[in-house]
Structure 1
């Protein structure tokens, strides 16, 4: 009987130790509910953040040595203080919050990862103000945050910096995230920055706030809002978490090779009015009171000249139906058009037979 109880004690000791060795991860989808976050170019930050967070979780839940908790899994509003409490009560090893950036200018783009600290630039301080401003949407925010004002730099300087070891771990993980963005996804790397963010200050474990990119930048917003783009972000963040866990806990959890997909980004059509008379290769339509030219897909360019020529066959070695387009302070002359490359090959042969040896097939933009 004594032997039985001894074995039982050893079993529960091993079981408890095994459970304690699990890597406790908090996954935090920024914003939610009445707080949509940034809304630009048809994108909503709270939806993107939740989608990426859930995909990260789906990847890591396959590993038995992870214990994962979410601050939200649906479109609900979670106050910052509650996000921090969830993480602290869980005694997590790492806090990962996903957001999207935005700017008043459409030009900035790129990914960055923030850790707790003092702002080093005006641009980054604006980001800190944006992420902290959700406090104003909470009931009794003055009581809960004891006079903390996201819009006042002097109150932010009063935030304590995390203990050195925790900060260094946060920086280490943030650097790995940025490495994945830069080298695996080939996104513009805006680096790791220290910021006075309330949610990172209130959590006692290493933590980061990831800004995937700028929704205010049209091209980047299309990448972030695509199914493939979100999947790419989720994969590389999950991989960075695995690497960090192995380093921190000295484990050898197998890594995976991300399957990076190329999103199909549909460019906006150029709303330009082009006037070309007697041109059989172009059609015109009207949209929102604008005349828009719809071009066939391929055509043969026979020459480019600074001189404008009359479109008579005699000026083009007998070729009929030559058209011109004014461009780059000159004139491009085209002969023939077709919906496929193959359709244009015959026209290209005719042009070369008439002496235009340097003629070539071009694809319309």
Structure 2
């Protein structure tokens, strides 16, 4: 099993370096590419309800979402992993996204539970399942690989029904975690405010389809097919359109944020506008920087202080946690609802530049950030 975990981690390393594209680093003039993945399909029905199968709900919402984007965003290329009722292997879904160098991957699914009263929406990003419920959802969605030929060899012995197989997700450092969580949070807000659905929150779990993609990615559970009322809603054209519009609104917010970072903003109807001069001149974000003992670590004077950012997480860790791999001192600051962990603190940038190669042996995506008067300078 440990050999399998090591092979998995090596594969992730290769994916992230062979496909180093991100919505935040689009090449000039390149169309923004979004891959929409309708879960299940063909011989894999997904969860089965009283009046509809999951695969049909997923496809209906996916096609409506893609149509909205194509109609209103001519600068966006929409790619479907499937646009009809066919079976597509999990690895192939990720391959499609990587092959077209997607900037965003959205996977649409429908939940199910033995408790028929369960209802509401959830959006997942890649990570280790911290609850039994999240693990249950991941196991159910990953079990589709059992329908694939030679799945054991293709997925390096991964057993979707074995809790032990999910240990590997503890060690994955998703370089797109912040973007993925931001999108997931926006989707959940839209479900609650626009579609008036119950918000069950943003969660993390070990989904194979997200593991192999090299861009910001989310997996959406649009509701519970096992709940009679929610199934009827999701089976209806009205319900599917409302869910698609909610995801579309979140996509627009995400895309606008990407464009703003490149000097332009895009409205919900896809029209590009020049960024306001006040936005162009805004080059810093005020954040609170703290050590793990809650003491401020911002400089007391007006000097610029440099640190090495090593990782981002939705969770707060103690400074002796093993996830820091022995680095000390480690501090953190909070931004956009995430804990961003840093190592070291000095006014001498050259000193950190000399230290950076050693840190990158432990955290390959580490980079130097700076603060002035408690403000992170961008």
Is the 2:126–2:174 contact (alpha carbons within 8 Å) kept by the matching residues of 1?
no
Shift of 1:249: 2.9
**Secondary structure at 2:109's aligned position in 1?**
strand
User: CA 1:79/1:160 → structure 2, altered by over 3 Å: closer, same or farther?
Assistant: farther
2:239 corresponding residue in structure 1: 229
Shift of 1:237: 0.5
1:254 equivalent among 263, 267, 270: 267
User: CA 1:165/1:248 → structure 2, altered by over 3 Å: closer, same or farther?
Assistant: farther
1:86 equivalent among 92, 96, 105: 96
Structure with more contact order per residue of length (Cα contacts < 8 Å, sep ≥ 6): 2
- The alignment yields a C-alpha RMSD, in angstroms, of 1.7
1:73 corresponding residue in structure 2: 83
In 2, distance between residues paired with 1:85 and 1:131?
18
In 2, distance between residues paired with 1:61 and 1:162?
34
1:348 corresponding residue in structure 2: none
Provide structure 1 residue ranges, at least 5 long, that are not aligned to the other structure: 1-15, 258-365
Q: Normalized against structure 1, the TM-score is what?
A: 0.64
1:29 equivalent among 13, 38, 53: 38
Q: Which moved more, 1:27-36 or 1:158-167?
A: 158-167
Question: How many pairs align?
Answer: 241
User: CA 1:17/1:146 → structure 2, altered by over 3 Å: closer, same or farther?
Assistant: closer
**Secondary structure at 2:215's aligned position in 1?**
coil
Runs of 4+ deviating beyond 3 Å:
16-19, 159-165
Is the 1:114–1:192 contact (alpha carbons within 8 Å) kept by the matching residues of 2?
yes
Shift of 1:162: 5.3
Is the 1:84–1:202 contact (alpha carbons within 8 Å) kept by the matching residues of 2?
yes
Q: Write out per-residue CA displacement over residues 238-275 of structure 1, whole angstroms, 9 at most, x where no aligned residue.
A: 11111101112324222159xxxxxxxxxxxxxxxxxx
Provide structure 2 residue ranges, at least 5 long, that are not aligned to the other structure: 1-25, 271-378
Q: Which moved more, 1:168-177 or 1:238-247?
A: 238-247
In 1, distance between residues paired with 2:240 and 2:27?
36
Shift of 1:195: 0.4
Shift of 1:41: 2.1
Shift of 1:85: 0.5
In 2, distance between residues paired with 1:44 and 1:148?
27
Is the 2:36–2:80 contact (alpha carbons within 8 Å) kept by the matching residues of 1?
yes
Q: Normalized against structure 2, the TM-score is what?
A: 0.62
In 1, distance between residues paired with 2:27 and 2:76?
14
Is the 1:160–1:201 contact (alpha carbons within 8 Å) kept by the matching residues of 2?
no
What pairs up with 1:1-365 in 2 under 5 angstroms? 19-20=29-30, 22-62=31-71, 63-159=73-169, 163-250=173-260, 251-255=264-268
In 1, distance between residues paired with 2:258 and 2:139?
31
